[in-house]
Structure 1
Amino acid sequence: LSQQERPPSVRVHKRETKHRIFVNRSLQLDKIKFFGFDMDYTLAQYKSPQYEELAFDIIKTRLIKLGYPSKLSSFTYDPSFPLRGLWFDRLYGTLLKMDQFGNILACLRGFSFIQREELRAMYPNKFVKYDEKRIEIMNTLFSLPETYMLSCIISMFISDPDYTKVEHGLKKGSLYMSYASIYEDVRTACDWMHRGELKQRTLANIGEYVERDPRLCVLLDRLRVNGSKVFLLTNSEFEYSHGIMSFILEIPKPDGTVRKWTSYFDYIVTDARKPAFFQEGTILRAVCQDTGQPSIGHHMGPLETGQIYSGGSCEVFSNLIGARGKDVLYVGDHVYGDILKSKKTVGWRTYLIIPELANEIYVWKKKKSLFDELQRIDNNLETIYRDLNISSNIRPDVGDLQRKIRAVAQQMEESYGLLGSIFRNGSRHTFFSSQVLRYADLYSFSCINLIYYPLCYMFRAPAMLMPHESTVSHGDSPKDSFSDLDAYRVVFVDVLEMVLPHLHQIKVTSVHLL
């Protein structure tokens, strides 16, 4: 019920916003037997924007070594620009903010928004069908510096008078650079960075880039004390995982003792190679913790507590630990690699980590006046059309209200950043938002928020109202709109009596009113 419809006697008790977990599909915590966690951006929260700045600088240095102009070094990372969930079109070099149906909400090349005429020349219906050979979805938190680098490079070349912009790239004399080749260069630099440089520099100055929260130790312990099994499932290899997990979990106690990080988990799998882990997977091997090297051969026996494993597949892993799909709640930040594949392929329950949610909620609260103003304009628009029907010859002038709607919607977008909210554009959901709704059972900005709920808690999803339910008040009289009952009859007939209409009159067996 809305606040207006809720009886005065009904009180709603909610946790503090910063402690809340939000629910798309109902979930009973005491039915979860296995709690699984990703590491990067889930158990290990990277400090923003410091971590993204580090990644951006590494990519920049690498590209200059590969032959890109040295003036690329003048760019510095701007955290207010990149947005998770954007599409990069390799054909036109554009960043696209999309809705869930493939319609374009915003379009940029470099740092410039593309306006109507040019936009329709490239995308006639402001619609893009996803094609993996053409479109790259920048869905991960690791892709934020990559997104910004693409815009920096394209903007740099477009603003250079020596380069001429052509339909699918840029030319300088006999040199031609397609937007697709720029993307491939940036992608190659990012892959190189993730194979070593970024991890080495993160571990070398770990306190600068990784958060350390003592509540994490409490959370993992409470889950196990309650009788649940806890596992770590990460794509990071052993050496990096060991360095990160040691930092965030091996916190000295008052007596000076330090508990080994592996003791917080029942099972540990590194180098999992998600999303392939949820499909064919790889060979499961035990890892020697002294050398960090995986053993020779395929591990076939039961998984041992305290032992670290590498690779494997979800099918093998589940069989070895005795887990069935809905017994598992998996917590991760990657919509595709962690959430979508674990949900669609093996039926795990899912909890998505969205660090951006903190800012989204802050703006949602701070800019309440803008949302109220948009509702007021919508009400005025409804009033203008209220007494008009199909026989009306009057065409009301609503241009002013439409301009106000666009202006307020633009103000709302700018409150979040240059590209607006990660979840919406005005009243329309983004592609990223639709994925969250579809694949994440729960979501929050931190896995730590589980600590604020009892392990018998029932996460109850709010009613997903259709427009005819959300816009019609329960207080409206059922007689208000339906006086002509014959127009709203649905006839249900016995299947045995059904024949082609022109051959036989349908025999009515029961009649129900909508």
Structure 2
Amino acid sequence: MNSDSRYLNTFQSKIFVNRPVNLRKIKYYGFDMDYTLALYKWPVYHEALFLHALDSFVSMGYPKELGALTYDIDFPVRGLWFDTLYGCFLKVDSFGNIFMCALGYQMKSKREIEELYPGRFVTFTDRMYIFNTPFHIPELMFFAAVINYFVEKDQLSGRSSKTGVFLAEGSFKQFSELFADMREAIEIVHMKGRFKEYILEHISEYIEKDEKIPLLLQTLKTEGRKVFLVTNSDWEYTNGIMTYLFDQPISEDIKGSNWFKLFDLVVTSSRKPKFFKEGTELYRVDPATGEHVAMFGESGSGVMQPNCVYSGGSVDQLEDALDVQGRSVLYIGDHIFGDILKCKKHKGWKTFLVVEELDHQLACWVKCKPLIRELERVDFIKVNNHRGHYSLACQASEAEDGEKTMNGGEAMTNGLSEVKMGLKEKLRAVDLTYGKLGGLFQSGSRETFFASQVKGYADIYATRCTDLLHYPLDFHFHTPRQRLPHEMACEDIPEWTSVSDSFDREHRQLNKMTSAQASVMMNHLPNIAAVNSDTDYQKL
């Protein structure tokens, strides 16, 4: 958007592409607020939420000793599944194959995983809960710390259960019951507690002020684009956060508490993903007083008007108000399910996923490049050892001195075992570079469930929404065709190598239907026999 050298594209401000997005065709830019426009400071904000959750949990009658638990900044990674039956955190791929399994902080062995999940495989059912968003990171940490506390107490007392923990003598709590109470504690913090008030009172400690946010919105407006805000946060909290972010003058009439004038429409308390389907009751909000006026009644669910602030409503009302035509919306958010998946499935909007951890993932990937190359080399050795072992086995069945040949195969097998052990160590080293539970997008050399969701629903993704400033508004994001594994394997084949091709023209010509074969077949095809009576198949 700006040719100034200050905004030259850099690797860590790059926008990554899953599917083409032509910004020339985008006329409407929609934004979420939390973790999109308003960036929370990690990990201090998560620690604050973690401590508020513990306080809420203790107020429900749980041991006061839980208040001494601390936040482990290296443990949580989003994208995990939580099994409410066994109390385990599962890191899986898109098919449910389990990479890692932890009970509290304790990692399960392959044998232990197999006992709970035969084949180390699990399907997504109602008993599973997904930690998908940045808000889920402190929640995950809270769950893990609490479960670990009770599990360790049981282990010291010589008690154990696959499906729950003992709170006190004779008092047993199923993991599903513990989960329900922990979720209630979190809800109290978000909806009923003083957490949001606390954040607003100490806003500079927990919210990152990015001067590029007002610049991005102002640039979009100057270029004739319409911008709107759809957030699940209520008006009071939204106004407090946005006033802080826009405390520098943007224009003569837009500064601080007038921030909403920069948007063509503002929707608070949207209750996404419900907003993108049936919606909720619509209220018009008076920005000056915060008063909510109902816009629904006997006549219908209400109508939105541009340049207004609302609470609730639906995506259909928003599109009508802004006169959205076709697939001309790019919606930007951090919630893979509530922001990205639903608006794409129900409205076909283009999607931009904000993944703040991307900087960390990129940095770790760069650090791991030597290890990754070593893993590729080890994989190559494994494949060739398997081929060599097969070749020696074939020779053994034909050779007179079969004993010598098999001794060679045995030595190769021993070498392969050493290679496999080295591979496990290197894979674990790669995972630990990211954190105790590995990377967000991969576990070892395999893609995670989170990665599959990003690929499936986010058209483009980046660390911050302000990375758009590095691209002109007529930019066309293209994605290079992803080569299949057999195509990538061709890189290792020298150009002069003759590759067997059983489907080339020579082979096809030799295997064509002969005249004799055609004649026999025509006896069974009377409807076309006359038409093909003069056909000479050998000459075609």
Question: CA distance change for structure 1 residues 301 and 187 in 2, over 3 Å: closer, same or farther?
Answer: closer
Post-superposition Cα deviations, 1:101-142, rounded to whole Å, max 9, x if no partner, equal 1000000001111112221111011000100x2100111111
Alpha carbons 1:21, 1:443 under 8 Å: kept: yes
Pairing 1:168–2:163 present:
yes
Q: How does 1:303-314 map to 2 (within 5 A)?
A: 303-305=305-307, 307-314=308-315
Alpha carbons 1:285, 1:294 under 8 Å: kept: yes
Alpha carbons 1:157, 1:163 under 8 Å: kept: no
CA distance in 1, matches of 2:136, 2:512: 54
Report the alpha carbon displacement of residue 158 of structure 1 after superposing the two structures with TM. Answer: 1.5
CA distance in 2, matches of 1:392, 1:232: 70
Aligned counterpart in structure 1 of residue 273 of structure 2, from 272, 275, 278 = 275
Question: CA distance change for structure 1 residues 433 and 489 in 2, over 3 Å: closer, same or farther?
Answer: farther
Question: CA distance change for structure 1 residues 478 and 148 in 2, over 3 Å: closer, same or farther?
Answer: same
Tell me, which stretches of 5 or more residues in structure 1 are unaligned?
A: 1-13, 494-500
Report the alpha carbon displacement of residue 464 of structure 1 after superposing the two structures with TM. Answer: 1.4
The residue that corresponds to 1:203 in the other structure is 200
Report the alpha carbon displacement of residue 472 of structure 1 after superposing the two structures with TM. Answer: 1.5
Pairing 1:135–2:128 present:
yes
Pairing 1:85–2:86 present:
no
Question: CA distance change for structure 1 residues 162 and 385 in 2, over 3 Å: closer, same or farther?
Answer: closer
Q: Taking every aligned residue pair, what percent have the same amino acid on both sides?
A: 37
Q: How does 1:57-456 map to 2 (within 5 A)?
A: 57-131=51-125, 133-160=126-153, 161-162=156-157, 164-171=159-166, 172-195=168-191, 196-252=193-249, 258=255, 260-298=258-296, 300-301=302-303, 303-305=305-307, 307-324=308-325, 326-386=327-387, 388=390, 391=394, 395=409, 396-397=412-413, 398-456=416-474
CA distance in 2, matches of 1:212, 1:129: 41
Structure 2 counterpart of 1:331, one-letter code = I
Report the alpha carbon displacement of residue 469 of structure 1 after superposing the two structures with TM. Answer: 1.6
CA distance in 1, matches of 2:365, 2:97: 24
Question: CA distance change for structure 1 residues 165 and 478 in 2, over 3 Å: closer, same or farther?
Answer: same
Tell me, which stretches of 5 or more residues in structure 2 are unaligned?
A: 1-7, 397-405, 514-520
Alpha carbons 2:364, 2:433 under 8 Å: kept: yes
Deviates more, 1:74-83 or 1:154-163: 154-163
The residue that corresponds to 2:403 in the other structure is none
Structure 1 counterpart of 2:66, one-letter code = L
CA distance in 1, matches of 2:118, 2:495: 43
Post-superposition Cα deviations, 1:169-226, rounded to whole Å, max 9, x if no partner, equal 1234321111111111110010011114221111010000001111111100111111
Question: CA distance change for structure 1 residues 300 and 154 in 2, over 3 Å: closer, same or farther?
Answer: closer
> In proportion to residue count, which structure has more helix?
2
CA distance in 2, matches of 1:220, 1:209: 22
Q: TM-score when scaled to structure 2?
A: 0.84
CA distance in 2, matches of 1:486, 1:391: 32
Report the alpha carbon displacement of residue 232 of structure 1 after superposing the two structures with TM. Answer: 0.5
Structure 1 counterpart of 2:243, one-letter code = S
CA distance in 1, matches of 2:78, 2:255: 37
Question: CA distance change for structure 1 residues 300 and 116 in 2, over 3 Å: closer, same or farther?
Answer: closer
The residue that corresponds to 2:499 in the other structure is 480
Alpha carbons 2:57, 2:182 under 8 Å: kept: yes
